Amino acid sequence: CIRVNKFQRVDPDVLKACENSCILYSDLGLPKELTLWVDPCEVCCR
């Protein structure tokens, strides 16, 4: 589960992916609150 909210503004896994891809985290334009579930055959977000 990837979660971004007022308590955790930056997800460490997404930040690492950005660094590896030479993308600024701030350029992603993520909402202030995001929950992302990643399963082998399905991705859901809220």
Q: Please give the structure tokens belonging to residue 4.
A: 């971004």
pTM of this prediction exceeds 0.85:
no
In which band, very low, low, confident or very high, does the pLDDT at 16 lie, cut at 50, 70 and 90?
A: very high
Helix (H) or strand (E) holding 37: strand 34-39
Number of domains in the chain: 1
Query: What integer pLDDT is reported at residue 26 of this predicted model?
Result: 94
CB 44 within 8 A of CB 36: yes
| Measured distance CA(19)–CA(40) in Å, rounded | 24
Total count of residues recorded for the chain: 46
Q: Which residues span the domain enclosing 26?
A: 2-45
Report pLDDT digits (tens) over 18-33. Answer: 999 999 999 999 999 9
| Measured distance CA(40)–CA(33) in Å, rounded | 23
In which band, very low, low, confident or very high, does the pLDDT at 3 lie, cut at 50, 70 and 90?
A: very high
